[in-house]
């Protein structure tokens, strides 16, 4: 067991720090800090993504042959850690972390050649068409239908909770191409052009006041068969692959630590506003969160060690997801309580980073209640906590 | 506000030697520490088996933290933690951590070379058994409220005070007594090596988890000069470090208890049937077990974190990490223990099963040397003392 960076890794860490100093602007950091929704707005991350792309660092998890930097898992950790600690904008994952790996693994040569570079450059902006009003946790029961007509599929149905569909020019979607005893066996993976006739994007406003997600209606949308990934009715397999690809996990702990550090600084720096913060209960809660972040960090590093030595960490990703989401919620929750009654003052402007004239409260404080409200989604999206408990019970504890 | 200064990482996989250490420990307890054997030790050997202690010495565990020049293995906190975990799984009653961690670190940090030569080899070989007197009835282990005092006399010291929860007091050869130097108003501390023969008044009792402990009363006990380990200067930090190291191994021990409890509970709910199906087929039960698992993993990670930090430095970060580990072990420990009892139904509240024994051990580990509330407050205080702008631990 070794608790010291190798000289090579230390040098790499310095390289990353230099890159951050030269390319991460205070405007970018401010934009990320004022992000109340779960995902960062393109106005905040686009320049950052471009800078990373120029350096060849935009897709740390991708294999070198497709444009990844060829880093070791340790280097990826260091990179994510430094970016997290520096408060760099979060890139959205739909292209880089979701459809990209699926195309790499299951796409045709033509699909790889067309889509992969455009994901890296940010020229294509992807959204994910998975959930439906009737199919959330039980995604396999989805019913948006794709019926074969010549060289096209004709898609009819609806998707919901589609993050940033209003920014996206492309969508990857799971659609039903057959009815079968096992619903998973009738699902295909399609790539759609968001400008296709028949696609209607309707905003859904969250309780935090943000327009992040949408409901999409497909009314006879024609999608070329050439835009299908792999074989018909094998879409579920491709979607499941993503879980394997992300097995190493994103290293969220440094970002959480930065959020907590920043909250402490905010409380200390704008004390007059944090009317709830003098109670010792708040200090204890902040310490408790920090203790959990320390533990989560070591947990993720242990998983990294397992991955590096060729072991499969199995469903520990479910444990991590639970811990990450509960820590995130704990931070937003203590922030609200510390801000006290001042958290009730509401700013309508969204996105908040566009607010140029602060009224009544500094913008960062106006972000606290919306972030808390929108943050309830952390234990719901990407597999609810209840589903994670089901997975842990079945796959880690071996309960049949 | 920051965590420990940290140059880097790290490979958190166990080395071969570490795996072996843990395997040997587990196998030893599996063969020599059944529930019946444990009960015998408690009832017939005063909770401290000569045979088991001899074996601990042979395995090198008594000298786990003792530097090699004094006959020990000079191993680190992770190794100590790995052994501690197996103690928890097996519900060992012998005060191994008190000797191998608390006593040995106190001596190693405070004593003169001559004193170390006198005490450490004897501790390592098991020739002399140590007990540590630190807690007091009115103040637990909090040094700021310690009432035991040692006043200088013409030929040494005069020690007075009342100590509680001195584990192994009835079988120890030597007490290490933590005392204020001077009067109640003085702020310096020291550790005295007091032979059991000079025995203070002893009131033995069992703790809730069936370990053997005692109250000790010292009434103007005269001690020679060199009963004090080291000098009378600047001892507080070393005492606190020894305690922090002990806390961390206690956290590992708690995780061992929790692992055993979860496994036993899974076995039980997978077999027990009501309403024509196993308890484990009910989602609420499955979720409860999964929640227990998540808490255990957090506690395990916190204990590992603290072990790694303490091995690297004695700084504020080490103390913070130790308190953090104690908080997690205490909170998770209580939750897991309570739920294990809950999921065993009526049987969980009886002495029939080992569940109750693990519960009581976890409560002991939660309360001894500071409950979660105490350590959370300590964590808050230590955090305030960290320099701003220090690079945080990842």
Q: What's A95-159 look like in SS3?
A: HHHHHHHHHHHHCCHHHHHHHHHHHHHCCCCEEEECCECCECCCHHHCCCEEEEECCEEEEEEEE
* A15 noted as active-site residue: no
Gap between the Cα atoms of B196 and B173, Å rounded: 5
Are the C-beta atoms of A191 and A227 separated by less than 8 Å?
yes
pLDDT in tens, B351-373: 889 999 999 999 999 999 999 99
* Residue of B125, B103, B230 lying closest to B177 (CA atoms): B103
Residue B8 has pLDDT above 50, yes or no: no
- Which contacts of A165-169 are long-range, i.e. CB under 8 A and separated by 24 or more positions? A165/A127, A165/A194, A165/A201, A165/A213, A165/A214, A165/A216, A166/A201, A166/A203, A166/A211, A166/A214, A167/A42, A167/A125, A167/A127, A168/A94, A168/A125, A168/A126, A168/A127, A168/A194, A169/A124, A169/A125, A169/A193, A169/A194, A169/A195
Gap between the Cα atoms of A80 and A78, Å rounded: 6
How high is the pLDDT of residue B161? 95
Residue B228 per-residue DSSP state = B
Are the C-beta atoms of A173 and A192 separated by less than 8 Å?
yes
Residue B306 has pLDDT above 50, yes or no: yes
**How many helices and strands in chain A, by DSSP H and E?**
14, 8
Distances, alpha carbon B74 to alpha carbons A45, B62, B64, B248, in Å: 51, 11, 6, 17
Put simply, the chain A residues between 239 and 258 with a CB less than 8 A from any chain B CB are 253-254, 257
How high is the pLDDT of residue A276? 82
Share of chain B above pLDDT 90, in %: 87
Closest residue in chain A to residue B262, using alpha carbons only: A397
| Residue B7 C-alpha, separation from nearest chain A C-alpha, in angstroms | 7
pLDDT in tens, B89-133: 999 999 999 999 999 999 999 999 999 999 999 999 999 999 999
How high is the pLDDT of residue B10? 59
How high is the pLDDT of residue B386? 80
pLDDT band, residue B394 (cuts 50/70/90): very low
Kindly list the residues from chain A whose CB atom is less than 8 angstroms away from the CB atom of residue B13: 1, 302, 305-306, 308-309
How high is the pLDDT of residue A309? 75
How high is the pLDDT of residue B390? 58
Kindly list the residues from chain B whose CB atom is less than 8 angstroms away from the CB atom of residue A316: 297
How high is the pLDDT of residue A246? 58
Positions in chain A short of pLDDT 70: 1-4, 243-249
Are the C-beta atoms of A49 and A117 separated by less than 8 Å?
no
Nearest by CB to residue B379, choosing from A291, A299, A305, is A291
Hey, is B221 helix, strand or coil? strand
Nearest by CB to residue B327, choosing from A286, A291, A297, is A291
Nearest by CB to residue A297, choosing from B14, B391, B393, is B393
Kindly list the residues from chain B whose CB atom is less than 8 angstroms away from the CB atom of residue A308: 11, 13
pLDDT in tens, A151-188: 999 999 999 999 999 999 999 999 999 999 999 999 99
Q: What is the mean pLDDT of residues B294-314?
A: 93
| Residue A75 C-alpha, separation from nearest chain B C-alpha, in angstroms | 11
Hey, is A208 helix, strand or coil? coil
Hey, is B51 helix, strand or coil? helix
pLDDT band, residue B4 (cuts 50/70/90): very low
Place of tokens 């808490």: B295
- For A30, counting Cβ atoms within 10 Å of its Cβ (0-12 exposed, 13-18 middle, 19+ buried), the class is middle
| Residue A396 C-alpha, separation from nearest chain B C-alpha, in angstroms | 9
How high is the pLDDT of residue B1? 27
Beta-strand runs (E) in B250-337 = 273-274, 277-278
Check A261 against B8: CB less than 8 A apart. no
- For chain B, say whether A282 makes contact (Cβ under 8 Å): no
How high is the pLDDT of residue B100? 97
Nearest by CB to residue B328, choosing from A295, A301, A305, is A295
Check A390 against B2: CB less than 8 A apart. no
Hey, is B91 helix, strand or coil? coil
Q: Which of B278, B284, B301, B371 to mutate to test the interface with A (most CBs of A within 10 A)?
A: B301
Hey, is B199 helix, strand or coil? coil
Helices (H), B204-235: none
Hey, is B96 helix, strand or coil? helix
Place of tokens 């100093």: A21
How high is the pLDDT of residue B9? 46
Q: What is the mean pLDDT of residues B40-65?
A: 96
Are the C-beta atoms of B292 and B300 separated by less than 8 Å?
no
Check A390 against B286: CB less than 8 A apart. yes
| Residue A255 C-alpha, separation from nearest chain B C-alpha, in angstroms | 9
Report residue A63 CA to chain centroid gap.
20
pLDDT band, residue B14 (cuts 50/70/90): confident
Peptide bond into A351 cis (omega under 30): yes
């Amino acid at each position: 067991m070794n608790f010291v960076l190798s000289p090579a890794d230390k040098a790499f860490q310095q390289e990353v720090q230099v890159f951050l100093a030269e390319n991460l602007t205070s405007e970018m950091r401010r934009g990320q800090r004022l992000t109340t929704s779960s995902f960062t707005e393109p106005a905040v991350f686009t320049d950052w993504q471009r800078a990373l792309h120029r350096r060849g660092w935009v897709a740390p998890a991708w294999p070198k042959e497709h444009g990844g930097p060829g880093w070791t898992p340790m280097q990826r950790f260091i990179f994510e850690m430094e970016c997290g600690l520096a408060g760099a904008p979060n890139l959205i994952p739909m292209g880089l972390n979701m459809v990209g790996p699926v195309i790499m693994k299951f796409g045709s040569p033509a699909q790889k050649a067309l889509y992969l570079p455009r994901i890296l450059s940010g020229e294509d902006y992807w959204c994910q068409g998975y959930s439906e009003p009737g199919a959330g946790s039980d995604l396999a029961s989805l019913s948006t239908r794709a019926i074969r007509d010549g060289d096209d599929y004709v898609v009819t149905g609806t998707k919901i909770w589609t993050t940033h569909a209003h920014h996206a020019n492309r969508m990857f979607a799971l659609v039903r191409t057959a009815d079968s005893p096992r619903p998973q066996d009738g699902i295909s993976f399609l790539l759609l052009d968001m400008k296709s006739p028949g696609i209607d994007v309707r905003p859904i406003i969250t309780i935090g006041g943000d327009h992040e997600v949408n409901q999409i209606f497909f009314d006879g949308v024609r999608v070329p068969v050439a835009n299908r990934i792999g074989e018909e009715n094998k879409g579920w397999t491709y979607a499941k692959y993503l879980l394997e690809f992300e097995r190493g996990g994103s290293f969220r702990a440094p970002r959480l630590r930065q959020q907590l550090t920043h909250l402490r600084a905010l409380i200390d720096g704008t004390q007059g506003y944090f009317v709830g913060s003098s109670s010792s209960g708040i200090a204890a809660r902040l310490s408790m969160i920090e203790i959990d972040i320390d533990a989560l960090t070591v947990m993720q590093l242990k998983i990294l060690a397992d991955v590096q030595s060729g072991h499969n960490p199995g469903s520990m990703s479910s444990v991590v997801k639970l811990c990450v989401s509960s820590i995130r919620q704990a931070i937003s929750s203590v922030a609200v309580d510390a801000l006290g009654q001042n958290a009730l003052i509401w700013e309508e402007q969204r996105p908040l980073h566009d607010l140029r004239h602060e009224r009544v409260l500094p913008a960062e404080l106006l972000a606290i209640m919306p972030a808390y409200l929108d943050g309830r989604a952390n234990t719901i999206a990407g597999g609810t906590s209840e589903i994670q408990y089901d997975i842990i019970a079945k796959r880690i504890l071996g309960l049949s | 506000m920051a965590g420990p200064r940290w140059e880097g990482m790290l490979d958190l996989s166990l080395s071969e030697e570490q795996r072996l250490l843990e395997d040997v420990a587990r196998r030893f307890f599996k063969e020599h520490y059944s529930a019946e054997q444990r009960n015998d030790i408690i009832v017939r050997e005063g909770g401290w088996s000569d045979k088991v202690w001899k074996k601990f010495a042979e395995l090198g565990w008594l000298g786990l933290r003792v530097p090699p020049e004094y006959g020990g293995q000079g191993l680190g906190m992770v190794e100590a933690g790995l052994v501690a975990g197996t103690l928890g799984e097996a519900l060992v009653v012998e005060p191994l951590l008190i000797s191998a961690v608390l006593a040995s670190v106190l001596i190693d940090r405070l004593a003169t070379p001559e004193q170390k030569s006198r005490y450490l080899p004897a501790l390592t070989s098991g020739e002399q058994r140590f007990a540590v007197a630190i807690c007091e009835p009115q103040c637990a282990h909090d040094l700021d409220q310690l009432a035991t005092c040692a006043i200088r006399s013409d030929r040494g010291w005069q020690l007075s005070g009342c100590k509680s929860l001195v584990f192994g007091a009835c079988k120890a050869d030597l007490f290490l007594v933590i005392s204020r130097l001077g009067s109640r108003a003085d702020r310096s501390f020291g550790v005295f090596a007091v032979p059991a023969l000079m025995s203070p008044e002893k009131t033995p009792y069992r703790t809730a988890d069936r370990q053997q402990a005692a109250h000790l009363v010292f009434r103007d006990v005269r001690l020679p000069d060199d009963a004090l380990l080291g000098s009378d200067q600047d001892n507080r930090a070393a005492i606190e470090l020894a305690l922090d190291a002990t806390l961390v191994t206690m956290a590992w021990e708690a995780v061992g208890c929790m692992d055993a409890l979860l496994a036993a509970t899974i076995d039980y709910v997978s077999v027990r049937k009501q309403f024509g199906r196993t308890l484990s087929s009910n989602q609420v039960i499955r979720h409860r077990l999964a929640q227990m698992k998540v808490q255990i993993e957090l506690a395990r990670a916190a204990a590992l974190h603290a072990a790694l930090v303490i091995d690297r430095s004695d700084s504020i970060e080490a103390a913070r990490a130790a308190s953090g580990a104690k908080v997690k072990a205490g909170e998770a420990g209580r939750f897991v223990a309570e739920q294990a009892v809950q999921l065993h139904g009526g049987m969980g509240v009886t002495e029939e099963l080992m569940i109750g024994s693990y519960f009581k051990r976890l409560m002991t580990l939660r309360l001894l040397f500071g409950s979660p509330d105490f350590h959370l407050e300590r964590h808050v205080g230590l955090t305030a003392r960290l320099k701003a702008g220090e690079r945080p631990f990842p």
